[in-house]
Amino acid sequence: MVRNVAANHASRRAFGAGVTGKMSLQRVVYGELKQLGLSAQPAIHVVRKVAGAYAALKANLKAGNYGPEGSKRRAKAESTPIRFRKDAAQPFDDRCLSWQLDARTVSIWTVHGRSGRIGFQCSPEQMKLLSEFRRGESDLVFRGGNWYLYATCDIPEPDTREPKEGFLGVDLGIANIAVTSEGTVHAGKHLNRVRHRNRRLRKRLQKKGTKSAKRLLRKLSGREARFAADTNHCISKKLVTEAERTCRGIALEDLGGIRDRVRLRKPQRVTLHSWGFAQLGSYIAYKAARAGIPVVFVDPRYTSQGCSACGHISKKNRPNQATFACMSCGFAEPFSPKCGADDADAVAEHGAPFGRGAWPGRPVDRRIGRLGEGARHWSDANEKT
């Protein structure tokens, strides 16, 4: 797309001049973008996209996401301008793209003028969302040989219902993706087996290094990500349906930052970093918001070591991954359902705020018996699959 060629030009100018703010960059490159064939509004969109990319880079460097000072990855990020793929997504607002929903067509701005009416396909449910709630920009995306329009729909949230029957505690894990306080287990065996198989295959293909091997690697990456996302969608839908049916809220563990807190052996690190708990949490949160179900986040400290019968906390209470056995009172039970029940009990014991929306909630601090400070949205979590 011409807009990505223009974005790369603006990025080089921004990097060379050290000008990355939106307004200052616009003063530098606006005329040059017009000479490349862009009209006024697309040129403004390009400037905004480039400025946003440099703002994100600056934030990631500050957060240490590109490694420490002096590392090769950080040095490369700091020493080269940001590049945009030729088929990277571009935003279109209503001045550059118009929808004809009755005819199921769109008209899109191009450097050669408005395109003719282009047909699009969507489900009846998606058409209803477009006609009632579409607002703002749409992203034009090229993926897998097809063009997609990602429309923005602003859907009002229903009032959050009071959880009359308490909370459904959900323990998140790797061996078992989610286990509820009712004992329902959503096992991760199949997903983990797929990931292990793909990991072995990736290792062989990376050693081979041919063009066909690299092509297959890209295909494998997308396939695994889609499979994991589908698994998380199915699990989150079942959890929200269960909470809605039983008139309860959902209590989740606040696992933000867990990758920075734990130290693992090398074979375990890959498994931890492929764990999609943030994605599952975000799916639960938005599905719960649509259903008016409250979601709170519980401090996960000592859930794996604390006895729900006598309160005794010890590492020795966990003889293995699947079992909990208290060294003080002798109480024993399967481990994951215990943690889900502990999450629900923590909310019942300490209470929780009530309001509108998806209820981002505040982590419950078990040790001091109050709601901890600082609400946390799953959508703000940096962890990704």
Predicted pLDDT at 158: 86
Question: Which amino acid is residue 159, in one-letter code?
Answer: D
**Residue of 271 and 215 predicted with greater confidence:** 215
Tell me the residue length of the chain: 385
**What CA–CA distance (Å, rounded) separates 339 from 321?**
12
326-368 pLDDT tens trace = 888 877 766 554 454 555 455 444 444 433 333 343 333 332 2
Predicted pLDDT at 161: 85
Q: Which residues pair with 109 in a beta bridge?
A: 114
Identify the band that residue 219 occupies on the pLDDT scale cut at 50, 70 and 90: confident
Q: Please report, rounded to a whole number, the percentage of residues in the chain having pLDDT higher than 70.
A: 80
Predicted pLDDT at 308: 67
47-78 pLDDT tens trace = 999 999 999 999 999 988 888 888 999 999 99
103-122 pLDDT tens trace = 999 999 888 888 888 999 99
229-278 pLDDT tens trace = 999 999 999 999 999 999 999 988 877 766 666 666 666 666 666 677 88
Residue 264 CB neighbours (<10 A): 12
Predicted pLDDT at 236: 94
**What residue segments make up the domains of the chain, in order of their start?**
2-79, 90-153, 167-380
Mean pLDDT along residues 276-304: 84
Q: Which residue has the tokens 């399967």?
A: 334
Predicted pLDDT at 151: 92
Residue 145 has phi, psi (to 5 degrees) of 85, 5
Contact in structure between 276 and 232 (CB atoms under 8 Å) = yes
Q: Which residues pair with 334 in a beta bridge?
A: 323
Please check the confidence at residue 80 and state whether its pLDDT lies above 90. Answer: yes
